[in-house]
Amino acid sequence: MTIEISEEAGVRSLHFGSDWVQGAMRIARPFALELDYTREMMAALLLRPDADWPRRVLLIGLGAGSLTKFLYRHRPQAQLVVVEIDAAVVAAARQFFKLPDDPARIRIEIGDGADYVARAKPRFDLILVDGFDADARPGQLDTPAFYLNCKARLGDAGLLSANLLSRRKDYRQSVERIDAAFDGRALAFPSCDSGNAIAFAAAGEAVKLTLAELKTAALALKKDTGLNLLPTLVRLEQARTCRDGLLEL
């Protein structure tokens, strides 16, 4: 895989041999989430608003390390396991995107994410799936077997957050696969302008939050981390994703 770095208007971007942006960092704010879809993946923190959650996180696909860095900075109790298929991506994240070198909190495994969840034994509070090849294809990371294995790796308050990216902008089949694996406990947020849609699925404890409760959690998250998810909640409400003003998983 060819790795390329570009910079424009204070933003450094990662590419895998194409114009497709695989990750980005605003140089002046290296721990902030620059891309819309990475911010929306962190909406998982609204669904489990306990400040002590998550404690164990699995990230499949490193990219520029944005999600890893955000959790490292703002959830200091979290142990992070990153599975990245290409060692060169890890090297690029360290050299160009300020990925912390802290083995006590960030463990990086070079390997295939689908293979990892099939054989791994630890349970995680949060699994973040954001893995694509140079042609923006997820491969085995968007299959029924993969999603079933993710569910098996989640603990009692476990959540899956998956970036669904399609050049056709049609995520229905992916959402149906996740929904089937999680026994109907999945939903997709309305897609971002970039064409990304984020799907969430729950295992164990139920998620049952009103839009008002989500807004309260979003205001607290913004105060604590600078991450503003209020626009996401507006889109949720406009799209009527939450039936009767209630988000349930």
pLDDT (tens place) for every residue of the chain, 249 residues total:
789 999 999 999 999 877 778 899 999 999 999 999 999 999 999 999 998 999 999 999 999 999 999 999 999 999 999 999 999 999 999 999 999 999 999 999 999 999 999 998 899 999 999 976 555 566 688 899 999 999 999 999 999 999 987 555 567 888 999 999 999 999 998 877 667 889 999 999 999 999 999 999 999 999 999 999 999 999 888 877 777 789 999
| Active site annotation includes 125 | no
Q: Are 218 and 58 in contact (CB under 8 A)?
A: no
For residue 213, the domain's CATH number is 3.40.50.150
What range defines the domain where residue 154 resides? 33-248
In a domain, 18, yes or no: no
In a domain, 129, yes or no: yes
The pTM is what? 0.95
Q: Are 75 and 54 in contact (CB under 8 A)?
A: yes
Which of the residues 36, 115, 130, 179 is marked catalytic? 130
In a domain, 49, yes or no: yes
> In the chain, how many domains are there?
1
In a domain, 16, yes or no: no
In a domain, 8, yes or no: no
